[in-house]
Amino acid sequence: MSTIVQVANFVTPSSGGLRTALDRLAEGYGTHRYDVVQLIPGSSNSETPMAWGTRITLRAPAIPGTGYRMFTGADAVTPTLARLRPYRLEVHDRTTLRGLGAWAQRCGVRSLVVSHERLDRLLAQWLPSQLPLAAAADRSNRNLTAGFDAVVCTTAWAAEEFERLRTPKLRCVPLGVDLAQFHPDRSSPRLRAEVADPAEALLLMASRLSKEKRPGLAIDAVQELSRRGRRVQLVVAGDGPLRRRLQERAAHLPVQFLGFVADKKRLATLLASADALIAPGPVETFGLAALEALASGTPVVANAASALPEVLGGAGVAAHGNAAEFADAIEKLLNAPTDDQRRAARARAELFPWSTTVTGFLAAHGIGPAYDRSQHEHEGGRPRRQPQLR
């Protein structure tokens, strides 16, 4: 069996975009008759059979205050990888697992790494601006790319920091959306009535509540809209280390906190029932929640500093990172014809099926849907003949 092994940090039962991407890719690889094994960190060791293969959880330490666990380094997973003898290795982490590229080279296994963060922008969220952040990001990215056969980014915005290094292994493959699960027809007047007064515009934020996501910007925008006399209700679907602080900040505002919404059907109904989704994060490299909103027929207000304007096209509004501009953008959407916006949002989402994402990732792996595995016998994990990356 030709096995694609996915390895990732920062994956939990309540994870959002990363876990969705891992599972959808695994399902897609399965439809092309590849076996898939996921290696993720957890509180204990376990193996869970999945329709597409196996999910292996390996015990790893918790990161205080985040809800995440993280492998301490490549050595934490290489014994398992050696047992699995992967045909292709797919690494969804650029921190402690970056050394897996060198391991794959030594073992003759073709590998790729997916950059889910734009490092230069992420560093700017946490470190003083007077530090040479771009130079630090460039050094890190050069070292990252040296070990892998391909680097995959999901948007041109995310790829910019690798393009300036003239990275020859770079591939840009957009993520996708389940167009059946997320659909305008899932809109529910009953659910809408549960969370908002009929006279209020229903705004939704589906996000992890952590610093880099800037969730407080959505709260500030609601405060500004209320000051202007605009009747809105913000529903927050998500959890994270900032939740208590945000609840205190929003105590006297029309804001509800639902916590993490595990029921995908309920989340799809919320997305389809909202008037707009707010995506305030300035360092989003793709934004799956925003794409799921578009598939649900709901336009998006996104941070202009992120990759989301590239994903949205004309199916939303980009705003700079302050409350007044976000409030202006929300009002612009609320004042526009609803049916036209919903049609435009859905049409944009239909350009992003998961099948296209899977095909793109297989190409980045140097294989494809028509690949004949009988031509590639394995010896110790090394394919006898390897297709070349384009």
Taking residues 18-46, report their average pLDDT: 95
By residue range, what is the domain housing residue 85?
Answer: 3-176+353-380
167 and 191, same domain (yes or no): no
Instruction: Give the Cα separation of 127 and 157 in Å (integer).
Output: 21
Interior angle at CA 338, CA 334 and CA 341, nearest 5:
95
170 and 229, same domain (yes or no): no
In a domain, 215, yes or no: yes
Place of tokens 């390996």: 58
307 and 373, same domain (yes or no): no
91 and 211, same domain (yes or no): no
337 confidence band (pLDDT: 50, 70, 90): confident
Nearest to 207 by CA among 149, 261, 249: 261
Q: Are 22 and 78 in contact (CB under 8 A)?
A: no
Q: Are 306 and 281 in contact (CB under 8 A)?
A: yes
Using left for φ > 0, alpha for ψ between -120 and 50, and beta otherwise, residue 381 falls in left
Q: What are the pLDDT digits (tens) for 233-266?
A: 999 999 999 999 999 999 999 999 999 999 999 9
Residue 66's pLDDT is 83
Place of tokens 């990215």: 141
Number of domains in the chain: 2
User: At residue 122, what are phi and psi to the nearest 5 degrees?
Assistant: -65, -40
Residue 192: exposure state from Cβ atoms within 10 A (0-12, 13-18, ≥19): buried
Strand partners, 235: 204, 256
In a domain, 388, yes or no: no
Structure tokens at 57: 């959880």
Strand partners, 285: none
Taking residues 34-62, report their average pLDDT: 96
Q: What single-letter DSSP state applies at residue 389?
A: P
Residue 298's pLDDT is 97
336 and 223, same domain (yes or no): yes
89 and 219, same domain (yes or no): no
Residue 118's pLDDT is 92
221 and 191, same domain (yes or no): yes
Instruction: Give the Cα separation of 282 and 90 in Å (integer).
Output: 26
226 and 313, same domain (yes or no): yes
205 and 168, same domain (yes or no): no
328 and 368, same domain (yes or no): no
123 confidence band (pLDDT: 50, 70, 90): confident
CATH, residue 291: 3.40.50.2000
Q: Are 52 and 30 in contact (CB under 8 A)?
A: yes
User: At residue 53, what are phi and psi to the nearest 5 degrees?
Assistant: 155, -120
207 and 278, same domain (yes or no): yes
Nearest to 297 by CA among 233, 255, 357, 340: 340
Residue 136: exposure state from Cβ atoms within 10 A (0-12, 13-18, ≥19): middle
Q: Is the pTM above the cut of 0.85? A: yes
Q: What are the pLDDT digits (tens) for 157-215?
A: 999 999 999 999 999 999 999 999 999 999 999 999 988 888 899 999 999 999 999 99
Residue 14's pLDDT is 73
Instruction: Give the Cα separation of 291 and 177 in Å (integer).
Output: 7
Residue 12's pLDDT is 82
Q: What are the pLDDT digits (tens) for 50-62?
A: 999 999 999 999 9
For residue 348, CA distances in Å to 19, 209, 290, 316, 344 come to 23, 27, 11, 10, 6
Instruction: Give the Cα separation of 189 and 144 in Å (integer).
Output: 49
Using left for φ > 0, alpha for ψ between -120 and 50, and beta otherwise, residue 33 falls in left
